[in-house]
Amino acid sequence: MVIKVYGAPTAWTQLVICVLEEKKVPYDYIFVDIFNGEQKSPEFLEKQPFGQTPYIDDEGFILYESRAIAIYIATKYVDQGTPLIPSDIKAQALFHQAASVEVSRFNGPALAAAMEKLYNPVYNGLECDQAVFEKNVAQLGLKLDVYERVLAKQKYVAGDELTLADLYHLPYGRLVGIAGTDLMTSRPNVNRCAVRILSGMVILNN
C-alpha cells in the first residue's frame, strides 16, 4: 500500500508532496476540504488533533507536522531519490543549523506576509492590512540579505547539496512570490536556490 497524504493544495502539503517526489516514493493524495472546515471534523481530529493538514497514513502509521513527515520519508527511503539528509556528522549538523534558521528566522515573517496578503482576503474575508504586510516583507528582506551572502559561498542553505532544509522554505517562499514580492527574484543566489526547490513541486488539485 502506498503512503496516503491527507492534505490541501496549500502551503505545507506542497512540502510533503515535494519530498515524496524527490525521493521517488509513490503516494496517494487525498484532498481535505479545509476551505469548508473538514480539518475540524471529529474524524480528522482523531488523526491530526490540531485540525490542520497535512497528515500521512503509512499502512496505519499516522504522522503529522510536515517537517517531521519530511524527515520520516527521507529516512525511510534513504537509498532512493535525492538524499536530502546528509549522513556525515558535520554535514548533518549544518543541516540542522539551516533547518533551525528556517523555523526561527524565515518562517515567522514569511507566514505573516502570506497570511496578510493571501489567506486573510481569500479565506477569512478580511481586507489585507498593507502596513502589516509591508512590515513583514521588510523583516523577511533583512533575513534574505543574510541568506544571499551565505548562498554566494555555497549552493544550498546547508552546503553544496540540496537538503530538506532547502525544501522547508518551499511553502512560504512560494507564497511570498505569489503575494507579489520580488524577495526571491531580486537576490540572484536566493533565486538560484529557489528555482531548484520549486523544480520538484507538483501542482495539486482540490
Helix (H) or strand (E) holding 19: helix 11-22
Q: How far apart are CA 150 and CA 156, in angstroms?
A: 9
Direct distance between the N- and C-terminal alpha carbons of the chain, in angstroms, rounded to an integer: 22
- Shortest Å distance, C-beta 74 to ligand GSH: 15
- Shortest Å distance, C-beta 171 to ligand GSH: 7
- Shortest Å distance, C-beta 80 to ligand GSH: 24
Residues 22-81, interacting with ligand GSH (CB under 6 A): 34, 39, 51-53, 65-67
Q: Does 165 interact with ligand GSH (rule: CB under 6 A)?
A: no
Q: How far apart are CA 120 and CA 109, in angstroms?
A: 15
Q: Does 169 interact with ligand GSH (rule: CB under 6 A)?
A: no
Q: Of the ranges 6-14, 77-85, 92-100, 147-155, which one interacts with ligand GSH (CB under 6 A)?
A: 6-14
Joined grid coordinates for residue 94: 549544518
Q: Does 12 interact with ligand GSH (rule: CB under 6 A)?
A: yes
Q: Does 10 interact with ligand GSH (rule: CB under 6 A)?
A: yes
User: Residues 3, 5, 6, 11: which binds ligand GSH (CB under 6 A)?
Assistant: 11
CA distances from 180 to 31, 101, 115, 118, 185 (A): 27, 24, 13, 10, 11
DSSP code of 159? Answer: B
| C-beta atoms surrounding 77 within 10 Å | 17
- Shortest Å distance, C-beta 11 to ligand GSH: 4
The site for ligand GSH (CB under 6 A) is made up of 8, 10-12, 34, 39, 51-53, 65-67
